[in-house]
Amino acid sequence: MTRAEQIARQGRWLHARRKLANAVFLAGTALATAIALTALALIMQTLVVNGLAGMDLAVFTMSQPVQGMAGGLLNAIIGSLVMCAIGMVIALVIGILAGTWLAEYGDGTRLATVVRFLNDILISAPSILIGLFVYELLVAPFHGFSALAGAVALAILAVPVATRATEDILRLQPYALREAGMALGADRGLVIRAIIWRASRSGLMTGALLSFARISGETAPLIFTSLGNQFVSTRLTQPIAALPTTIFQFGMSGDDNWRRLAWAGALLIALAVLATNVLGRALMRRSNAK
Amino acid sequence: MAVLAPSAAGDRLFRSLCLAAVLAMMAVLGGLIGSLLWGGWPALAHFGPGFFTSSTWDPVAGQFGAAGPVAGTLLTAFLALLLALPVALGTAVFLAEICPQAIARWLAIAVELLAGIPSIVYGMWGLFVLAPWFARHVQVPLMAAATPGSWLERMVTGVPNGANICTASLILAVMVLPYIAAILRELLLSVPPAMREAAYGLGCTRSEVVLRIMLPYVRNSAIGAVMLGLGRALGETMAVTFIIGNSHNFPRSLFGAGSTISSTIANEFNEATGDMHVSALIALGLVLFAITFVTIAAARLLLGRDGGPK
């Protein structure tokens, strides 16, 4: 064999090897995607099938049944709405103001760098620890679980998300907008409130929706703050039911009817979170397209 | 003529208000750490280092050792990551670089939406679908097949109800999978087109472009993304509590019941039998906080630390 033939053979072999490695790699990634999507599709399928099977009008009109009796999730749905609403109000006020400070006033300061970092850590902090904190803050000193404590726990979870979203969105506004406002004689605060916030409206709305999606399915921080209540209640100083905690209680029970309701509740929560996320994305796309 | 004069006082007030919100948030973080220290101190002081080395968790006798839940937390989180990482990475690469973009966009949205599904849904699925299936088709056959006394036998012994460390890890893996995949995909998409095109122009195959150019380019951020997933798995409560079996013993078998810090707190806090029990649970929370804080802080420091060869 001549030297040239040898080199050509080596080249062909190398080429074949690279092609094979590439084929294996491509097949591997396709397989991984198939595994991931199958696993997630299986979960969604179970959720929808069992959830729909458990769904009926009573789910929305009746409260928690005694074991063996007919009933629904009304107390839990109302409880979740009450706590999420209060939590969101607290979270949005603090989150939007804090995000505004980070984007408009604190930029470049050392405090802003530290706050941004700690905020990102708070976003990922285990939610059950927030529950422990609020228990020691609002439950133990007042000797009682309460809807307010649950709402505060949810607010603490939502604030970092809202802060982050607000900062990111305000930064998107062109600087010329701020300069134009100041040239008209407005002070910085007025520029932010009347121009920047207004221009960022749909973005801020997206942030609010994402924070809501983050807290509406949370279970762990509610177990020892709002506890649960088998009756419809809207009193803030009393224990209150919530969908996630009710699902937890019903799912762990051996009662078939309770389990059926747990699936219906899980489907409701998943749908609420999905719808909120989809809506948030749609808003985001619209505001980006403008 | 009325002139809209810049009111320095109004501006200062608004600025202080914004700053107050920031400080309130930091106060919450401080309060969180403070309350965990305050509440957990009695148990830590009473049991000393033994709190971490003993695996006796006996509320009746007032003995609390955290080795079981701590080991369970680390074990399930790492197992979950081991299972999820290859699949998540493959999915991210497929969606970012290989699949036709018209389809990939929709699949990517699906993956991102799934990352937002509340963990209790995953927990329900684990309890009602995965656990029975796992017990019947994996655990029982393996227990029957393993020779008594062998290494395998020790790994697979357990109550055959599917509630064990292995299934808990599986559920955690399925849960963090879309989360990690979504971040990794975004990272891959952030690689400058010129880098990829240059590599393709040199005749690189797709696997070479991805493995030798794109992934090294986003290496630090990718490690950060994986650690974020780890942080999530470490702190997850609901997906695990349903299915881990709730035993406080030090985990010795993959198919045996175990517990994690968060599942222990979720199960026992409201029924705690005494001050020392409550304090031990809060001390567990403090341990969890320390573990996740370090993990997430490292992740955040790594994320965004890229930008080509240095």
Q: What is the pLDDT of residues A135-187, one digit of tens each?
A: 999 998 988 899 999 999 999 999 999 999 999 999 999 999 999 999 998 88
Is residue B85's pLDDT more than 80?
yes
How much is the mean pLDDT over chain B?
Answer: 90
pLDDT over 50 (residue B98): yes
Domain-located, residue B117: yes
Give the model confidence (pLDDT) of A223-237 as tens digits.
989 988 888 888 889
Interface ipTM:
0.92
Average pLDDT over residues A49-63: 91
pLDDT at residue number B161: 83
What confidence score (pLDDT) does residue B308 get?
44
Report pLDDT for B1. Answer: 39
pLDDT reported for residue A18? 93
Q: Which residues of A touch B4 (CB under 8 A)?
A: 184-186
Nearest to B249 by CA among B270, B264, B268, B262: B264
pLDDT tier at B229, thresholds 50, 70, 90? very high
In this predicted structure, what is the pLDDT of residue B112?
A: 87
Nearest to B26 among A18, A30, A118 (CB): A118
pLDDT at A247: 93
Report, as an integer, the average pLDDT of B222-231.
Answer: 95
| Chain A contact set for B80 (CB, 8 A) | none
The mean of the pLDDT values for chain A is 91
Third-level CATH fold of A60-289 = MetI-like fold (1.10.3720)
- For the cut 80, the answer to whether the pLDDT of residue A288 exceeds it is no
**pLDDT tier, A278 (very low <50, low <70, confident <90, very high otherwise):** very high
Q: CB A40 to CB B31 under 8 A?
A: no
Structural Rg of chain A based on CA atoms: 26
Q: Which string of DSSP letters, residue by residue, matches B110-166?
A: HHHHHHTS-HHHHHHHIIIIIHHHHIIIIIHHHHHHSPTTSHHHHHH-S-TTS-SHH
What confidence score (pLDDT) does residue B149 get? 77
Q: Which letter, b or e, does each residue of A54-90 get, where b requires 16 or more Cβ atoms within 10 Å of its Cβ? A: bbeebbeebbbbeeeeebbbbbbbbbbebbbebbbeb
Could you tell me the sign of the dihedral formed by the alpha carbons of B197, B201, B207, B209, in that order? negative
Q: Which of B95, B124, B238 lies closest to A33 in CB terms?
A: B95
Determine which helix (DSSP H) or strand (DSSP E) holds B58, and give its type and residue range.
strand B57-58
Percent of chain A whose predicted confidence (pLDDT) is above 90: 72
What are A115-126's pLDDT values in tens digits?
Answer: 999 999 999 999
**Pairwise pLDDT comparison (B177 vs B249), residue with the higher score:** B177
Q: Which tops the pLDDT comparison, B282 or A64?
A: B282
Number of CB atoms found within 10 A of residue B84's CB: 28
- Tell me if B209 is assigned to some domain: yes
Interface test with B, best of A19, A43, A225 (most B CBs within 10 A): A43
Residue B5's pLDDT is 54
Whether B17 is in a domain gets the answer no
A144 versus A288: which is more confidently predicted?
A: A144
Q: What average pLDDT does the segment B287-294 reach? A: 96
- Please give, rounded to a whole number of angstroms, the shortest distance from the CA of A128 to a CA of chain B: 7
Taking residues B233-260, report their average pLDDT.
89
CB < 8 Å to B118, chain A: 216-219, 244, 269-270, 273
Q: Does the distance separating the beta carbons of B26 and A247 come in below 8 Å?
A: no
Contact flag A132-B265 (C-beta cutoff 8 Å): yes
Has residue B309 got a pLDDT over 70? Answer: no
CA distance A32 to chain B (A): 5
CB B244 within 8 A of CB B76: yes
Residue B156 has pLDDT above 90, yes or no: no
Total residues found in chain B within this entry: 310
Chain A positions in Cβ-Cβ contact with residue B90 (cut-off 8 Å) = 28-33, 36
pLDDT at position B310 is 37
pLDDT at A147: 94
Query: Which of B155-159, B219-223, B241-245 is predicted least confidently?
Result: B155-159
Q: Which residues contact B65 (CB under 8 A, 6 or more apart)?
A: B47, B50, B51, B52, B53, B54, B55, B56, B57
Model confidence over A231-268: pLDDT tens digits? 888 888 999 999 999 999 998 888 888 999 999 999 99
Burial of A122 (0-12, 13-18, 19+ CB in 10 A): buried
Q: What is the pLDDT of residues A76-86, one digit of tens each?
A: 999 999 999 99
Range of the domain at B171: 61-128+163-302
B117 φ, ψ to 5°?
A: -65, 130
The model's pLDDT over B1-34, given as tens digits with 9 standing for 90+, comes to 344 555 678 888 999 999 999 999 999 999 999 9
SS3 state at B10: helix
A223:B270 CB<8 A: yes
Residue with the bigger pLDDT between A242 and A66: it is A242
What predicted TM-score, i.e. pTM, was given to this entire model? 0.93
State the pLDDT at residue A289.
60
**Overall average pLDDT of the B295-303 stretch:** 93
For residue B168, tell me if it sits in a domain: yes
Per the CB < 8 Å rule, is A273 touching B117? yes
User: Is the pLDDT assigned to residue B140 strictly greater than 90?
Assistant: no
Spans of all domains in chain A: 3-54, 60-289
Q: What is the pLDDT of residue B23?
A: 95
What is the rounded CA–CA span in Å between residue B171 and residue B148? 29
Q: What is the pLDDT of residue A290?
A: 52
Residue B63, H or E segment: strand B63-64
Q: How far is the C-alpha of B67 from the C-alpha of A236, rounded, in Å?
A: 39
CATH number where B203 lies: 1.10.3720.10
Residue of B292 and B140 predicted with greater confidence: B292
DSSP secondary structure, chain A, as one string:
--HHHHHHHHHHHHHHHHHHHHHHHHHHHHHHHHHHHHHHHHHHHHHHHHHHHH--HHHHHS-PPPTTS---SHHHHHHHHHHHHHHHHHHHHHHHHHHHIIIIISTTSHHHHHHHHHHHHHHHS-HHHHHHHHIIIIITTTTS--HHHHHHHHHHHHHHHHHHHHHHHHHHS-HHHHHHHHHTT--HHHIIIIIIHHHTHHHHHHHHHHHHHHHHT--HHHHTTT---SS----TTS----HHHHHHHHHHSS-HHHHHHHHHHHHHHHHHHHHHHHHHHHHHHHHHH-
Which residue on chain B is closest to A183 by alpha carbon? B6
Instruction: Indicate if the pLDDT at residue B307 is higher than 70.
Output: no
pLDDT at residue A127 greater than cutoff 80: yes
The CA-based angle B230-A214-A93, given to 5 degrees, is 125
Domain count along chain B:
1
pLDDT band at B75 (very low <50, low <70, confident <90, very high): very high
DSSP H helical ranges for chain B: 8-47, 50-53, 67-93, 101-115, 119-125, 131-134, 140-145, 151-156, 165-189, 193-201, 206-208, 215-217, 219-235, 238-241, 261-268, 275-302
